[in-house]
Amino acid sequence: MMKQMSERILMLLKMRREATSLLIAQELAITKEGARKHLLSLENQQLVTAVVKSEGVGRPSTYYSLTEKGLAKFPDAHADITVQLLKSIRNLLGENALDLLIGDRETNVYKRYAQAMEGAKSLEDKLTILTQKRSEEGYMAEWKQNGDAYLLIENHCPICAAAQECQGFCRSELNNFRQLIGNAYAIERIEHIINNSNRCAYEIKRIEAHS
């Protein structure tokens, strides 16, 4: 039971990037003392680290986040063999063959997502379906509204090693998102795991019509 709760805390920190013991307790429906006990155990295992932050009036708050060792609990799927295959394709067949491979994957992914989105009328409906499909594939995706914009957030990248070897994968995913969301919206990547962020995040804004 303790191991299961610790795994849930690690998952929560992966999704939220950082959280206080109070937030963890509320999210997981446990006591604050129970959350602290699990966090202390995870600290001792060097899976989480704590930082004290002053937030104006009142006592400072302690925020917990994953260490590199903690992040390693969410591995890149088949990372080594994928990178080896990509290198072999580049070395034996050339960069063009690698581009064709990525293009074919982009097309297949688009068809799969577009089929799932059939009938979705609003942007919210599309984002709900998209994040569900992405989460099924290991991206730990979610969306939220941020003022007049929307954020599509992926808290994990199961193909990170492949994307580091060939960033064409990242470009193809952004291309697919733009096609799926539609021409009425502009979508830009504002956070990128490849650039040492904890997540990939895409900002989506409606394009204002000009008369």
For residue 125, the model assigns a pLDDT of 96
Ramachandran assignment for 143, one of left (phi > 0), alpha (psi -120 to 50 degrees), beta (any other): beta
CATH of domain 2-71: 1.10.10.10
pLDDT in tens, the chain (211 residues): 677 888 889 988 888 888 899 999 998 899 989 999 999 999 999 999 998 887 767 788 899 988 878 877 776 656 666 778 888 988 889 888 989 989 999 999 999 999 999 989 899 999 999 999 999 888 999 999 989 999 999 998 888 888 888 888 999 999 999 999 999 999 999 999 989 888 999 999 999 765 4
For residue 16, the model assigns a pLDDT of 81
* pTM for the whole structure: 0.72
Going from N- to C-terminal start, the domains of the chain cover 2-71, 79-206
Read off the tokens for 97. 């063959």
Between the alpha carbon of residue 106 and those of residues 113, 170, 194, the distances in Å are 11, 10, 19
End-to-end CA distance of the chain: 61
Within 13 A of 25's CA, how many CA atoms are on the CB side?
12
Read off the tokens for 58. 């009142």
DSSP SS3 for 204? strand
CATH fold, domain 79-206, is Muramoyl-pentapeptide Carboxypeptidase; domain 2 (3.30.1380)
* Residue 93 CB partners (closer than 8 Å, separation 6+): none
For residue 77, the model assigns a pLDDT of 59
